[in-house]
Homo-oligomer: A and B are copies of this chain.
Amino acid sequence: MSTPTSTQIRLARRPVGEPADSDFTTETVGLPELGDGDVLLRTIYLSLDPYMRGRMSDAKSYAAPVEIGAVMEGATVCEVVESRAESRPVGTFVLAYTGWQTHAVVPGRHTRRLDPATAPISTSVGVLGMPGFTAYAGLLQIGRPQEGETVVVAAAAGPVGSAVGQIARAKGARAVGIAGGPEKVRLLREEFGFDEALDHRSPDFAAELKAATPDGVDVYFENVAGTVGEAVMRRMNTYGRIPVCGLVADYNATEARDGAEPGPVLLRRILTKSLTVRGFIQDEFLADHSADFQRDMSGWVADGTVKYREDVVDGLENALEAFRGLLTGRNVGKLLVQVSEDPTR
């Protein structure tokens, strides 16, 4: 067997604002020999997720940034193509964290086996993976929607938002989804079954939001922030809950948005409405809730309670452009880069 190589996208410098092509380099390098327990992986899907913008930056965050010169991080769905790990024979499909590259050598125990007979392997980075668990844990552990309450989520056509809305409905709450553009709004209503779907680009957005939430908002699942988040916060009911799992609209921001509400305004809302605002990273809930999640979410996907959608972009060379689109809402559904063929489809 010839020495395996990997084509890799590496961080060349820290982007200012929107990540530019020149912030990255693409290199093809030889991979190391497999040690005992190692596997050689071929990347099938690379998951693109908003948190990656934070990893490109060295601002303080909950995780260390990607080093300059290092391969961009990311979750991947891979096939084992060479193995020195008994539990991961050649042909096994695994969930790994090998990043923006075509191949990688990692210890087999750093991967999780996937069974294509149970669910499509791509769902392990989507509805049955981190985005689905973010929705499940944040909504149920922090948002705690009660029957008849109103739950609002933005980026509602995305993998987290669409799951939030559908889980809210499964729990008897009213789900109001916000997305950008008529195609997504239609999808929210027709595919994901939201009770109300709003286009945040509408010039009458604030009035439409008010009409769609006649009883106010009890749970706002905050995953975008920006002007949409501020509009929803104005509708919060007393004792409302705001799980905060992302602030995509502000991720590229290098300074405060024009017209962004000052912190004192937010605090005043929190005080006068006795709101609970709680930031979280899904990891926090893994130990206690991942078994429940796998059971509930697999069941809901199987019986159609929760539907999901994927937006698959072809070729690693298109990953960066797709990632830029993710931050501005161009994708519809879970964004994946198809790095090589999926033999299970």
- Interface of A with B (CB < 8 Å)? 60-62, 222, 225-226, 229-230, 238, 244-247, 250, 253, 256-257, 260-281, 284
Contacts and interface: CB of A to CB of B under 8 A. Distances in A.
B284 A274 contact: yes
Given A262-B256, A274-B281, A279-B273, A267 B225 contact: yes
A272 B264 CA distance: 19
Nearest to A60: B272
Given A60-B272, A247-B268, A256-B264, 14 more contacts: A61-B272, A225-B264, A244-B267, A244-B271, A246-B271, A250-B264, A260-B262, A263-B265, A263-B266, A270-B279, A271-B279, A276-B278, A276-B279, A277-B277
Contacts of A222: 267
A228 B273 CA distance: 23
A264 B270 contact: no
Number of copies: 2
Contacts of A230: 263
A245 B271 contact: yes
Nearest to A266: B263
Contact of A275 (B229, B238, B261, B278): B278
Contacts of A62: 238, 271-274
Nearest to A253: B264
Q: Would you list the 10 A-B pairs with minimal beta carbon distance, nearest first?
A: A256-B262, A270-B279, A271-B279, A263-B266, A277-B277, A260-B262, A261-B263, A250-B264, A276-B278, A274-B279
A268 B250 contact: yes
25 contacts: A62-B238, A62-B272, A222-B267, A226-B264, A229-B267, A245-B271, A247-B267, A250-B268, A256-B262, A260-B262, A260-B264, A262-B262, A263-B263, A263-B265, A266-B266, A266-B267, A267-B277, A267-B279, A269-B279, A270-B277, A274-B278, A274-B279, A275-B277, A275-B278, A277-B277
A275 B104 CA distance: 36
A43 to B, nearest CB: 29
A61 B62 CA distance: 34
A244 B271 CA distance: 6
A268 B253 CA distance: 12
Given A244-B270, A270-B244, A275 B279 contact: yes
A261 B255 CA distance: 11
Contacts of A260: 262-264
Contacts of A60: 272
A220 to B, nearest CB: 12
Given A225-B267, A262-B263, A264-B250, A276 B274 contact: no
A273 B279 CA distance: 7
Nearest to A265: B263
A280 B272 contact: no
